[in-house]
Chain A
Amino acid sequence: MSGEVLVEARGVVKSFPGVWEHLILDHINFDVRAGEVHALLGENGAGKTVLANILSGFYTLTSGQIYVRGKPVHFKSPFDAIKNGIGMVHQEFTLVPSLTVVENIALMLRKHNPLSYPLKEVRERTLELSERYGLKIEPDRLVEHLSLGEKQRVEILKVLYWEPDVLILDEPTSVLTIDEARELFKILRRMAEEGKGVVFITHRIEEIMAVADRVTVLRLGRKMGTFKVSEVGKDELLRLMIGEMEPVRYERGRSVEWGRVVLEVRDLHVLSDDGREAVKGVSFEIHEGEILGIAGVSGNGQRELAEAITGLRKASRGRIRLMGLDITNKPAGEIAKLGVRHIPEERRRMGVVEPMCLAENMIIREYKEKTFSTAGVIKSKVITEHSKRLVERFKILTPDIWDTEVRILSGGNIQRLILARELWKGPKLLVAFHPTYGLDLKAVTHTHQHFMELRQKGAAILLISEDLEEIFLLSDRIAVMLDGRIVGTLGAREATPEKIGHMMAGVGAS
Chain B
Amino acid sequence: MVSKKIRKILYRLAESLLAVGIGFLGGAFLMLLYGYDPITAYRALLTGAFGDISGIYETLSFATPLILTALTFGICVRSGLFNIGAEGQMYMGAIGAVMIGGAMSLPAGIHAATATLFAMLLGGLWSIPVSILKITRNVHEVVSTIMLNWISFWLVTYLITYQLTDPMRAERAVPAQETARYTVIGASLTTIFPVVIAFTLLIYFIVWRTTLGYELRLVGYNPEAARYAGISIPRAVVMSFLLGGLAAGLAGASQVLGRPPSWTVYATLGNLVNLGFEGIGVSLIGRNHPIGIIFAAIFYGGILHGGRFMEFEAGVASELVRAINGIIIVALAIPELLSMVSGVVKRRRGKEVEAG
A92 CB–B CB distance under 8 Å: yes
B107 CB–A CB distance under 8 Å: no
Interface residue from A353, A399, A403, A404 paired with B225 (Cβ < 8 Å): A353
B210 in contact with A378 (CB, 8 Å):
yes
> Which residues from chain A contact B232 at a C-beta distance below 8 Å?
331, 333
Contact with A along B1-31 (1 / 0, CB 8 A): 1001101100000000000000000000000
A207 CB–B CB distance under 8 Å: no
A190 CB–B CB distance under 8 Å: no
Cα A399 to Cα B4 in complex, Å, equals 11
Contact with A along B338-356 (1 / 0, CB 8 A): 0000010001111111111
A377 in contact with B209 (CB, 8 Å):
yes
Cα A177 to Cα B228 in complex, Å, equals 26
B136 CB–A CB distance under 8 Å: no
B199 CB–A CB distance under 8 Å: no
A18 in contact with B4 (CB, 8 Å):
yes
A84 CB–B CB distance under 8 Å: no
Cα A18 to Cα B222 in complex, Å, equals 26
Cα A348 to Cα B352 in complex, Å, equals 15
A400 in contact with B218 (CB, 8 Å):
no
Cα A312 to Cα B223 in complex, Å, equals 12
Q: A90 with B350: in contact, given A332-B230, A344-B228, A353-B222 (CB under 8 Å)? A: yes
Which A residue sits closest to B225, measured CB to CB? Answer: A353
B211 CB–A CB distance under 8 Å: yes
Q: Contact residue range for chain B?
A: 20 to 34
Which A residue sits closest to B229, measured CB to CB? Answer: A364
Q: A16 with B222: in contact, given A94-B349, A331-B232 (CB under 8 Å)? A: no
A342 CB–B CB distance under 8 Å: yes
Instruction: Give min CB distance, A53 to chain B, whole Å.
Output: 7
Which B residue sits closest to A92, measured CB to CB? Answer: B350
B230 in contact with A331 (CB, 8 Å):
yes
> Which residues from chain A contact B351 at a C-beta distance below 8 Å?
58
Instruction: Give min CB distance, A445 to chain B, whole Å.
Output: 27
Cα A431 to Cα B86 in complex, Å, equals 44
Contact with B along A34-62 (1 / 0, CB 8 A): 00000000000000000001000011000
Interface residue from A96, A334, A349, A367 paired with B214 (Cβ < 8 Å): A367
A350 CB–B CB distance under 8 Å: yes
Instruction: Give min CB distance, B220 to chain A, whole Å.
Output: 9
Interface residue from B211, B222, B343 paired with A367 (Cβ < 8 Å): B211
Which B residue sits closest to A403, measured CB to CB? Answer: B4
A365 CB–B CB distance under 8 Å: yes
Of the candidates B8, B221, B225, B348, the one having the most CB atoms from chain A within 10 angstroms of its own CB is B225
A31 CB–B CB distance under 8 Å: no
Cα A342 to Cα B230 in complex, Å, equals 12
Cα A335 to Cα B228 in complex, Å, equals 11
> Which residues from chain B contact A408 at a C-beta distance below 8 Å?
353, 355
Instruction: Give min CB distance, A322 to chain B, whole Å.
Output: 15
Which B residue sits closest to A16, measured CB to CB? Answer: B355
Cα A131 to Cα B64 in complex, Å, equals 66
> Which residues from chain A contact B8 at a C-beta distance below 8 Å?
403
B212 CB–A CB distance under 8 Å: yes
Q: Which of A161-169, A354-362, A478-486 lies at the binding interface?
A: A354-362
A58 in contact with B352 (CB, 8 Å):
yes
B227 in contact with A312 (CB, 8 Å):
yes
B222 in contact with A376 (CB, 8 Å):
no
A59 in contact with B211 (CB, 8 Å):
no
Q: A403 with B5: in contact, given A19-B355, A356-B221 (CB under 8 Å)? A: yes
Of the candidates A352, A364, A399, the one having the most CB atoms from chain B within 10 angstroms of its own CB is A364
Q: A378 with B211: in contact, given A92-B350, A312-B228 (CB under 8 Å)? A: yes
Q: Contact residue range for chain A?
A: 35 or more
A407 CB–B CB distance under 8 Å: yes
A224 CB–B CB distance under 8 Å: no
B352 in contact with A399 (CB, 8 Å):
no
Cα A331 to Cα B356 in complex, Å, equals 39
Contact with B along A358-386 (1 / 0, CB 8 A): 00100111011000010011101000000
Instruction: Give min CB distance, A414 to chain B, whole Å.
Output: 12
Instruction: Give min CB distance, A404 to chain B, whole Å.
Output: 7
Instruction: Give min CB distance, B206 to chain A, whole Å.
Output: 9
> Which residues from chain A contact B1 at a C-beta distance below 8 Å?
399-400, 403
> Which residues from chain A contact B349 at a C-beta distance below 8 Å?
94
B128 CB–A CB distance under 8 Å: no
> Which residues from chain A contact B352 at a C-beta distance below 8 Å?
53, 58-59
Which A residue sits closest to B343, measured CB to CB? Answer: A355
A405 CB–B CB distance under 8 Å: yes
Cα A434 to Cα B257 in complex, Å, equals 61
Instruction: Give min CB distance, A152 to chain B, whole Å.
Output: 15
A458 CB–B CB distance under 8 Å: no
B111 CB–A CB distance under 8 Å: no
A356 in contact with B218 (CB, 8 Å):
yes
> Which residues from chain B contact A348 at a C-beta distance below 8 Å?
350
Instruction: Give min CB distance, B102 to chain A, whole Å.
Output: 36
A351 CB–B CB distance under 8 Å: yes
B350 in contact with A332 (CB, 8 Å):
no
Which B residue sits closest to A363, measured CB to CB? Answer: B214
Interface residue from A18, A334, A356, A363 paired with B7 (Cβ < 8 Å): A18
> Which residues from chain A contact B211 at a C-beta distance below 8 Å?
367-368, 373, 376-378
Cα A506 to Cα B4 in complex, Å, equals 56
Of the candidates B211, B228, B356, the one having the most CB atoms from chain A within 10 angstroms of its own CB is B228
A336 CB–B CB distance under 8 Å: yes
Instruction: Give min CB distance, A354 to chain B, whole Å.
Output: 7
Cα A53 to Cα B351 in complex, Å, equals 9
B231 CB–A CB distance under 8 Å: yes
Interface residue from A59, A350, A363, A405 paired with B224 (Cβ < 8 Å): A350
Cα A429 to Cα B217 in complex, Å, equals 28
Using CB atoms and an 8 Å cutoff, list the residues of chain A in contact with chain B: 16, 18-19, 53, 58-59, 90, 92-94, 96, 311-312, 331-337, 342, 344, 348-356, 360, 363-365, 367-368, 373, 376-378, 380, 399-400, 403-405, 407-408
Q: List 11 A-B contacts (CB under 8 A).
A: A53-B352, A311-B230, A333-B231, A349-B222, A350-B222, A353-B222, A354-B347, A364-B229, A365-B230, A367-B214, A407-B353
Q: Which 5 A-B pairs have the closest CB atoms?
A: A333-B230, A364-B229, A403-B4, A332-B230, A19-B355
Given A19-B355, A333-B232; 17 other pairs, CB 8 A cutoff? A18-B7, A311-B230, A333-B230, A333-B231, A334-B230, A335-B230, A342-B228, A349-B224, A355-B343, A356-B217, A356-B218, A373-B211, A376-B211, A378-B209, A378-B211, A403-B8, A405-B355
